[in-house]
Amino acid sequence: MRAIFFGSGAFAVPVLEALAAVSEVMLVAVVTAPPRPVGRAGVVGPTPVGERAGLLGFRVLTPERLRDPAVVADVATLHPVVGVLADYGKLLPQAILDLPPQGILNLHPSLLPHHRGATPIPAAILEGDAETGVSLFRMDADMDTGPIVAINVVALSGDEDAPGLEVRLAAVAAGLLRLSLGPWLRGELPAVAQSRERVSTTRPFRREDGRLDPARPAAALERQVRAYRPWPGTFLQAPGGRIAVLRAGIAPTQPGDEPGRLVADDGSRLALATADGRLRLLEVQPAGGRTMDAAALLRGRPWLIRARVG
- Would you call the peptide bond into 69 cis, given omega within 30 degrees of 0 as the criterion? no
Contact between residue 33 and residue 47 where contact means Cβ atoms under 8 Å apart: yes
Give the span between the Cα atoms of 153 and 55, in whole angstroms: 32
Tell me the percentage of the chain whose pLDDT exceeds 70.
99
Q: How far apart are CA 68 and CA 225, in angstroms?
A: 40
**pLDDT tens sequence across 121-132:** 999 999 999 999
86 secondary structure, DSSP code? E
Q: Are 15 and 173 in contact (CB under 8 A)?
A: yes
CB of 199 within 8 A of CB of 110?
no
DSSP alpha helix (H) spans, 127-268: 162-185, 218-227
pLDDT of 41 higher than 80: no
DSSP state of 174: H
The 3-state DSSP class for residue 1 equals coil
pLDDT value for 26: 98
**Average pLDDT of span 175-184:** 98
Phi and psi based region of residue 246 (left: phi greater than 0; alpha: psi -120 to 50; beta: remaining): alpha
β-strand partners of 134? 152
27: three-class secondary structure by DSSP:
strand
pLDDT for 265-286, tens place per residue? Answer: 876 789 999 999 999 999 999 9
**Any idea where the domains of the chain sit in the sequence?**
2-201, 207-304
- Arch. (CATH architecture) of 207-304: Roll (3.10)
Q: Quick one: CATH architecture of 2-201?
A: 3-Layer(aba) Sandwich (3.40)
Q: How many CB atoms sit inside 10 A of residue 299's CB?
A: 12
> Which pLDDT score, from 0 to 100, does residue 128 have?
98
- Average pLDDT of the segment spanning 29-52: 90
Prior bond of 113 cis (ω within 30°): yes
Q: How far, in Å, CA of 33 to CA of 49, rounded? A: 9
Strand partners, 233: none
Domain 2-201 and domain 207-304, same fold? Reply is no
Alpha-carbon dihedral of residues 159, 39, 169, 285, nearest 10 degrees?
0
- 283 Cβ neighbours under 8 A, 6+ residues apart: 245, 246, 247, 291, 292, 293, 294
Query: Given this model, what pLDDT does residue 153 score?
Result: 98
DSSP string of 201-235, one letter each residue:
EE----GGGGB--TTS-HHHHHHHHHHTTTTT-EE
β-sheet bridge partners, residue 116: 201
